[in-house]
Amino acid sequence: MIDFIQTVKSRNETLFIFGWVCLFVAILFLIFTKITSTQVYGVNAWYKPFKFAFSTFTFAWAMAWYCSYLPDFNIKIFNWTIIVLLGFEIIYIAIQASKGQLSHYNVSSSFYSAMYSLMALAASLVTIYTAYVGVLFFKHSFPELPHYYVWAIRLGIIVFVIFSFEGFAMGSRMNHSVGALNDNSNWFILGWSKTVGDLRVAHFIGIHALQVLPFLSFYLFKNTKWTIGLSVVYGALALLTLIQALNGKPLIGKRQEITRQD
């Protein structure tokens, strides 16, 4: 683990530091869930900024690692794009949590509508930039890297991009639930619904393909065909959870009738 951390730092110190900052504030937000009682949609308000900060930490370090392989890539522009856009999202979500107010789906005023739109724009720009990185991984060859590992990065980015944009399925509905109004359940930290469909499940599985597929390919499968097969199965899993959610069914258990329908 120490070797891994030192390698991330040597590859991209800027995103390395940003990742540490995100991890620190994620832990801080998690502590807040234990010492505050402010709630949004039935759960502690600080769980949401925690999840965003921790997810950004994993994204920053993963991209720091992968982008170091790219020749003639302007890493400074990429770094600061990620820091400014995702940093803005975390800060705004945390501010709203501190007030017990919505960050996403909040169009109660012109200001909140504008901020919600800016968050959507920030997430879209990060996703598009990541897609561009994926294009570069297809464009270039990497003879110094295992073939299966390169394919894992390529396919991990593809799945990430697809299910990042799946977030618009929630935005267009102004609701992450299908069958209720933004239902949350006491399911560990994730808070996915146990009663109705939850679009966040597919989103979570898909965006973390960025870390899961290269990790499993490099350390476990070590084979191009197996890596491609794994990626197909992983993407299918994310898709199936999306279809399940759109049909109003929770990930685990049977759908329950909720009086507050969306």
Q: What is the CB neighbour count within 10 angstroms for residue 255?
A: 18
Residue by residue, DSSP assigns 167-207 as HHHHHHHT-SEESSSS----STTT---SSSEETHHHHHHHH
Q: Is the pLDDT of residue 202 over 60?
A: yes
- Please give the biggest Cα pair distance in the chain: 58
Query: What is the arithmetic mean of pLDDT over 123-140?
Result: 98
Supply the pLDDT for residue 261: 42
Mean pLDDT of the chain: 94
What is the reported pLDDT for 256? 64
Cα gap 262→257, rounded to integer Å: 12
Angle formed at CA 256 by CA 252 and CA 258, multiple of 5 degrees: 130
Q: In the predicted model, is pLDDT for residue 35 greater than 90?
A: yes
Cα–Cα dist 100/181, whole Å: 17
* Single-letter code of the amino acid located at 65: W
pLDDT of residue 250: 92
| Out of 101-110, 189-198, 200-209, least confident range | 189-198
Q: What is the pLDDT of residue 183?
A: 82
Sketch the domain layout of the chain as residue ranges. Answer: 1-140, 147-262
Say if residues 180 and 261 touch (Cβ distance below 8 Å): yes
Which amino acid type is present at position 249?
A: K
pLDDT at 257: 55
Structure tokens at 137: 């991984």
CA geometry: angle 70, 73, 79, nearest 5 deg: 105
pLDDT of residue 22: 98
Q: Which amino acid is at 37?
A: S
Q: Alpha-carbon distance 260 to 9, whole Å?
A: 49
pTM for the complete prediction? 0.94
- pLDDT for position 259: 44
> Mean per-residue pLDDT for 221-234?
97
What does the pLDDT average to over 145-163? Answer: 98
Confidence at residue 255, expressed as pLDDT on a 0 to 100 scale: 65
